Amino acid sequence: MGVTRHTRMAPAGIQKQYQREFIPASAMKEGDGSPTYATVGISPVWQMDHSVKSSVNADWGIPLDIMAGRDFWMYPVFTMSTNVFANIRFGIDYLPMYRGVSIAAVPTTIENTIAADGTGTIIPRRSEWLTIEGWRVAGKEDWFQMNDFAGRIANMQLEIYRDGASLMDEHGGNLYLQGLAILYEAFI
């Protein structure tokens, strides 16, 4: 299973185009905290316990049409095991790569608290998305500039986690991660 891409045009009069990619649970590998690969209905998911920090790993090939240096956003798509309105602590450690070599000394961590509004598929509100600052991905390097991907292989290594052990994670149910959505600004 690969990454699914969706295209969304910006409102009329704005010269931007946004692309949405989705990394499904089936494209992720077990990380720390012993998450369990399972299915909910027929959908593959990663079950993350409510009492520990558990993670999965994924690799995302940075699209050739991305506008380097611009911010982009990531958010989890998940369901919960119990119908409770409470907060989930969610985060990503990311490491930008260029030709198999990290362009950062250590992974960058971003976290946010997401309001889990009961059962069903949860797609966080825009204010809860995790923002990847474009300059961090570009690494402030001259060779990694907008529209300069010819002959280059660039990707991000991602560790996607629920921090169930955090005091900011108040939900007593297990999280079923269906995947990670990524929204970025693209060339038109």
* Positive or negative: CA dihedral 111, 44, 156, 133: negative
- Asked whether residue 123 carries a pLDDT value surpassing 70, the answer given is yes
Least confident stretch, 10-24, 35-49, 75-89: 10-24
For the chain, which residues make up each domain, given as ranges?
25-62+77-179
Percent of the chain with pLDDT over 70: 79
pLDDT band at 61 (very low <50, low <70, confident <90, very high): confident
pLDDT value for 136: 57
The C-alpha atoms of residue 123 and residue 181 are separated, in whole angstroms, by 9
Kindly state the average pLDDT of the residues 13-30: 85
In this structure, which amino acid lies at residue 171?
H
* Average pLDDT score over the chain: 82
- Asked whether residue 3 carries a pLDDT value surpassing 80, the answer given is no
The C-alpha atoms of residue 91 and residue 71 are separated, in whole angstroms, by 17
CA distances from 129 to 20, 101, 125, 159, 161 (A): 13, 27, 7, 16, 14
Report field, pTM of the whole predicted structure over 0.85: no
- Asked whether residue 176 carries a pLDDT value surpassing 80, the answer given is yes
At 135, is the secondary structure helix, strand, or coil?
Answer: helix
pLDDT digits (tens, 9 = 90+) for 63-98: 877 776 778 899 999 998 888 889 999 999 998 887
User: Torsion over CA of 60, 66, 72 and 75, rounded to 10 degrees?
Assistant: -40
Neighbours of 57 (CB within 10 A): 15
The C-alpha atoms of residue 176 and residue 107 are separated, in whole angstroms, by 25
pLDDT value for 148: 46
> Among 40, 12, 158, 141, which residue's Cα sits nearest to residue 96?
158
* Positive or negative: CA dihedral 53, 80, 167, 182: positive
Topology adopted by domain 25-62+77-179: Jelly Rolls (2.60.120)
